[in-house]
Amino acid sequence: MKKLTTSVGVFGPYLSIETDGDGYRVDGGGLLPFIVVGKGVISDAVEGEFPPAAPDPAAMLDVNKAARQAEVDAIVVTTAAGNAFDGDERSQERMSRALAALDDGESVTWVLHDNTVASIGKAELREALRLAGATQTTIWVRPYL
């Protein structure tokens, strides 16, 4: 890594700095004009001499989205009856399909979060779906706040 030291300040770190006509060409692209930075000395940058670069907002959004997905994948909700349901997106889809087919008062055989099998009524399954959806909504907006 290289740095440029002038009377105005220290610039860098850069992979490369070359003198180019009226200024310094840095990393093969940007030009630091002499009229702005003055003439200076190119030397090796010392590790830790510069603050870390600010993270790229697009890259950070991707990281935050991946973290968000991991949280959604781990959603577990507990109904008033005390049954714990997986609440990830795929489980919510399964709940929705089952609810669409159930009539009031009917129940469905369901595998709960702890892998026990239980007979779950339509009202409780709807409660689990609502809880899971509300939890996901809370998680989903975090990368944008």
- The rounded average pLDDT for each run of 10 residues, N- to C-terminus, in the chain (145 residues) is 85 85 79 72 85 71 84 96 98 98 96 98 98 95 78
- The H or E element that residue 86 is part of is strand 84-86
For the residues of 14-45, what is the DSSP string, one character each?
A: ES-EEEETTEEEETTTEEEEHHHH-S-EEEEP
For residue 7, what pLDDT is reported? 82
Q: Is residue 87 a part of any domain in this protein?
A: yes
Tell me, yes or no, whether 80 and 114 share the same domain: yes
For residue 55, what pLDDT is reported? 67
Tell me, yes or no, whether 130 and 81 share the same domain: yes
Tell me, yes or no, whether 11 and 78 share the same domain: no
Domain that holds residue 84: 57-144
- The H or E element that residue 96 is part of is helix 89-101
DSSP 3-state of 52: coil
Question: Would you say 49 and 55 are in contact if contact means Cβ atoms under 8 Å apart?
Answer: no
Q: Is residue 70 a part of any domain in this protein?
A: yes
Tell me, yes or no, whether 77 and 103 share the same domain: yes
Q: How many residues does the chain have?
A: 145
For residue 83, what pLDDT is reported? 98
